[in-house]
Amino acid sequence: MSDYSEIPIQDNEPEEFGGDPAELGSEESIAFKEVPHNLEAEQALLGAILINNEALEKVQDFLLPDHFANAAHNKIYAAASIMIEKGQLVTPVTLKPYFQKEELLEDVGGATYLAKLAASAITIINALDYGLLIYDLAVRRNLIELGTDIVNKAYAFEVEDTSKEQIEEAEKQLYSMAESGVTEGGFQNFKDSTTKAVNVIGKALQRQGKLAGVTTGFDSINKKIGGLHKSDLMIVAGRPAMGKTALATNIAFNCAKAYKHDKDLGIEHKDNQGAVVAFFSLEMSADQLASRILAEQAGLSSQHMRQGNIDQDEFNKLSRVAVELQDLPLFIDDTAGLSIGALRTRARRMQRQHGLGLVVVDYLQLLRGTGLKGRGPENRVQEVSEITRGLKGLAKELEIPVIALSQLSRSIESRDNKRPLLSDLRESGTIEQDADMVTFVYRAEYYHSQQEPDMGTPEHMQWQEEGEKLLGMAEFIIGKQRHGPIGIIPLRFQAEITKFSDLPMGDDYLPEQFE
């Protein structure tokens, strides 16, 4: 931060420039670029605070001590803020003891400088405008510093620091800068809040109460949750082989397909029941994920496709489906070991470029935090907490739903009833706390198939009968929902093509529960 040692209190009337205009275009004046700052504005604002402490209320939500270009002003603003927060009166007299031996203030006239500041005060009415000017100039200085840092790193050409990583780091810092100290936000009056709520309910009414958010593609799920709501973080958890990735892929595809369908009908983006989807696949490659979707839509076994065990007619069918689906607004990022910071940066970029409406992360435990060292359990809990907060923050910032897949702990395997509970979530405290909705995918068929008795025994016949009832059955369990009921939704699962679908069954499959 620059330190301007000479800070004369400026007169209100600016001096007129009396030099030769040609001198303004000289080589020396062009070469010199002054760091953006306005000492007069800083002096005027500090003076206003010293005269009327209520002036601080106008700027304290966004203006920090570091935003002042002069180090002495930084110290004065910080001290005044602390004293006012404690309920103390701030004047040149009350501040004087804190700055009698302050070297920064000695350079500009000592404690008497506080009195000069008060003499240059503006009215409290103009305090906000001066504060915004000081903040804007501080952002400009930070941009210059960031730009210089980017240039220096690019010239350094470190082998381990690729250009792609430098771009992502620069974007992250830019957005971090944009988010900190913003003047928007704060309290909203109840009238504005209720107006927004009524608008959301009105949209649901126009859709005959079927959907208030983005569609999942499953009528039974939409009926229970009203669609995927903006700013919500939804967790889809399950043990391996339960089909959580398949379900997430189905939802992502259904959402993208619905968006394209509505867009082709001329429905505006804000009224579209689908969404542009970003699928962050940290476990599977993009082509593997695409193969799953193709298998599902073509009705072909994904295993046979992988092994090339299909005939020419099936391949032709697959090719036709691929052509039909290639324009879907579904984007896949299969970068391994992605950090939560990089994910948020890429999601923001996607929203700018394509109007992103849904983020899917497969899966949460494969994301990395930022800045945490060590592999101990305490650090891991902190890292997961940072990741879930980051995903929830992304949902709120972009005003879109975020679906994050999560693994369950192995303790579920040691009990007889293997239907998952909230307590089965890994690092469940932070995940359950930050999520707006926690759901589970459960297939009793999978566990039943692993308990086959000896052939020819009465137990084996009973096992077969039970297996026929469970064949292709799956459960979508809502374990937590902030805005609605919890309970179990039955689904059909075709394992050979990794496809979930609605199961025609009444609501009495399991009694509805409420938190």
CATH topology of domain 192-509: Rossmann fold (3.40.50)
Cα distances (angstroms) measured from residue 473 to each of 301, 492, 505: 18, 5, 12
Q: Where in the chain is the domain with CATH 3.40.50.300?
A: 192-509
C-alpha–C-alpha distance, residues 305 and 501, integer Å: 21
Cis peptide before 363 (omega within 30 of 0): yes
Closest CA to 471 of 501, 431, 444, 441: 444
Q: Where in the chain is the domain with CATH 1.10.860.10?
A: 31-179
Question: Residues 6 or more apart from 438 whose CB is under 8 A from it?
Answer: 234, 235, 237, 422, 425, 431, 432, 478, 479, 480
Task: Please check whether residue 164 is in contact with residue 192, taking contact to mean a CB–CB distance below 8 angstroms.
Answer: no
Can you state the angle between helices 71-85 and 112-119, rounded to 10 degrees? Answer: 80
Burial per residue of 298-331, b for 16 or more beta-carbon CB atoms within 10 angstroms, e otherwise: bebbbeebeeeebeeebeebbeebeeebeebbbb
Task: Walk along the chain (515 residues) in steps of 10 and give the mean pLDDT of each run.
Answer: 48 45 48 80 90 87 88 88 87 81 65 81 83 90 88 78 74 68 54 66 57 83 87 89 88 90 80 87 84 81 76 82 83 84 84 89 82 54 83 89 89 82 73 86 83 78 81 88 86 85 61 40
Closest CA to 225 of 237, 211, 235, 239: 211
Judged by DSSP in three states, 437 sits in: strand
Q: What does the block give as tokens for 49?
A: 């605070």
Closest CA to 363 of 400, 344, 388, 385: 388
**Whole-model pTM over 0.85:** no
Closest CA to 120 of 189, 39, 60: 39
Please tell me the total number of residues recorded for the chain in this structure. Answer: 515
CATH topology of domain 31-179: DNAb Helicase; Chain A (1.10.860)
C-alpha–C-alpha distance, residues 235 and 181, integer Å: 30
Q: Tokens 């990741």 — which residue?
A: 387
Q: What residue type is 352 in one-letter code?
A: R
